[in-house]
Structures are given as structure tokens and as C-alpha cells.
């Protein structure tokens, strides 16, 4: 049924039919990241079955990048972070060599935008913590350190650490590891990237460090996690 809609919509619109067949704005507003990723996984399966051209996929992702930005801006998310995210994906899209690479980028794009809207809108009683949370999510693919964070946010390292621990119950670096592993789960379930590639994307020291951290937080290795995924996701 979905495939029939997909073909029908493409007879009318020369672009991603999913731009017209469901309310992305509602999912963004309700912060329903799992549902959005489920829809994207189904879409990728259809694209592969339909031999969807990479050239068309690139155009679709430019549109989706703008759609995410427009809808999230309506929710009042910090524009500084939103601009950075938009520019990162805008420059990444033309560099992808294949449909598979573009689909992987779409999964990353979706996860990143939803994380931004989820965590930028999270309000704690600490102004400092509210500045740190979006910073951590925006820099999930960078090397993170208390020193660099404190310098860029213009907060003393000790004060930043104490405020964050008081509000969140964990240290800044432990929280950073947790969200990196959550992003790793998305990459493991929605892309064919290797364990090594994922460890590099998320800036772990090496694959061994990544696997050890992943297992400490999930109880299984990245390979075991991927093997447990339903066939439609792996």
C-alpha cells in the first residue's frame, strides 16, 4: 500500500513523496523521533526497490534540510545552533557519492535535528545547564572536553561542572558519552556504516574505546546490538 502511494505521488510530484504523505511538522512538534526514524527506514526500503536515483535524492535532502529548519525555528530553538546544523548538512549533501550514502546522511540529519529540538527545549532550573545541553548535542561528532566547552560558552569549568551535575545527576562527560552512544544506536540501526566508521564519526579514541563504552552503557557490544535488530532495520 505504501509503495502504491509512493509511485502515485511520484507521478504527480517530482520529489520525495513523503514530503506530502504525512505531517512532518506534527512529529517535530511532538518530538516523536522514533516514529520519524521508522518512517524514514520504510522510505529507504522503497527507494531501494524503486532504484531511486541519487541525483533526485540529493534534491530531496536539500528540501528536507530546509523543512526541518523551518519547522524547528517555529518552536523557538536557539537559532545559533540551528544555523550551524543547517550549514553542516547543506555542505555534506553534494559530497555523498551514492543513494546509500545519502540515506545514511538522511538518518543522521533526522537524528540531529530531533535531538536539537528535544534538548534545546529542555528547561532545567539552571541557566548554565540549559546552555550546556544544546552545546553537547550540537558537538556530538566532535571531541568534547570541559576546557573547550567552558571557553566556548564563557563559563568557568568548575562552575559548569557543578551546575550540570546538580541538575542532571551525572557529570558533563558521562552525559556526553551517553548521547554519543544513543547516536551510535541510530547509526547502527539505520545505516550500513562499519563499527570503525561509527567510532570515528563520534570521535572516540579508537574502535576499542568505542566498543568498550558502548557495552558499558548498553550491556552488549555494537556488533551484538546490530545483530539483535529486526531484519528490516539491519
Asked if residues 90 and 138 have their Cβ atoms less than 8 Å apart, the reply is no
Asked if residues 24 and 109 have their Cβ atoms less than 8 Å apart, the reply is no
pLDDT value of residue 61: 96
Return the C-alpha cell found at 44: 529507504
What residues contact residue 168 under an 8 Å CB cut-off, 6+ apart?
Answer: 124, 129, 175
pLDDT value of residue 66: 93
124-146: per-residue pLDDT in tens?
567 888 888 878 887 888 888 99
Q: How far apart are CA 170 and CA 154, in angstroms?
A: 21
| Average pLDDT of span 15-33 | 77
Q: Is residue 106 pLDDT above 50, yes or no?
A: yes
Q: What is the pTM (predicted TM-score) of this model?
A: 0.61
Q: How far apart are CA 135 and CA 101, in angstroms?
A: 26
What residues contact residue 181 under an 8 Å CB cut-off, 6+ apart?
Answer: 213, 214, 217, 218
Averaged confidence pLDDT in the chain: 84
Longest dimension (CA), the chain: 59
195-214: per-residue pLDDT in tens?
999 999 999 989 999 999 99
Asked if residues 115 and 137 have their Cβ atoms less than 8 Å apart, the reply is yes
| Average pLDDT of span 83-95 | 90
Band (pLDDT 50/70/90 cuts) for residue 5 is very low
Q: Is residue 10 pLDDT above 50, yes or no?
A: no
What residues contact residue 180 under an 8 Å CB cut-off, 6+ apart?
Answer: 140, 202, 203, 204, 213
Band (pLDDT 50/70/90 cuts) for residue 47 is very high
Amino acid at each position: 500500500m505504501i509503495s502504491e502511494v509512493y509511485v502515485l505521488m511520484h507521478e504527480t510530484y517530482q520529489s520525495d513523496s513523503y514530503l506530502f504523505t504525512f505531517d512532518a511538522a506534527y512529529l517535530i512538534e511532538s518530538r516523536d523521533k522514533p516514529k520519524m526514524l521508522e518512517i524514514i527506514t520504510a522510505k529507504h526500503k522503497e527507494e531501494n526497490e524503486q532504484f531511486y536515483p541519487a541525483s533526485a535524492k540529493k534534491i530531496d535532502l536539500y528540501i528536507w534540510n530546509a523543512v526541518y529548519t523551518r519547522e524547528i525555528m517555529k518552536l523557538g530553538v536557539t537559532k545559533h545552533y540551528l544555523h550551524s546544523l543547517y550549514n553542516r548538512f547543506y555542505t555534506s549533501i553534494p559530497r555523498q557519492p551514492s543513494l546509500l550514502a545519502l540515506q545514511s546522511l538522511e538518518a543522521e540529519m533526522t537524528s540531529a535535528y530531533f535531538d536539537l529540538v528535544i534538548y534545546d527545549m529542555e528547561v532545567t532550573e539552571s541557566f548554565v545547564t540549559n546552555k550546556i545541553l544544546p552545546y553537547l548535542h550540537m558537538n556530538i561528532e566532535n571531541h568534547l572536553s570541559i576546557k573547550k566547552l567552558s571557553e566556548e560558552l564563557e563559563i568557568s569549568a568548575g562552575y559548569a561542572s557543578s551546575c550540570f551535575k546538580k541538575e542532571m545527576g551525572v557529570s558533563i562527560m558521562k552525559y556526553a558519552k551517553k548521547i554519543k552512544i544513543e547516536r551510535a544506536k541510530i547509526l547502527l540501526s539505520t545505516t550500513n556504516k562499519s563499527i570503525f566508521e561509527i567510532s570515528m564519526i563520534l570521535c572516540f579514541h579508537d574502535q576499542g574505546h568505542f566498543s568498550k563504552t558502548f557495552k558499558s552503557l548498553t550491556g552488549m557490544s555494537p556488533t551484538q546490538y546490530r545483530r539483535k535488530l529486526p531484519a528490516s532495520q539491519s
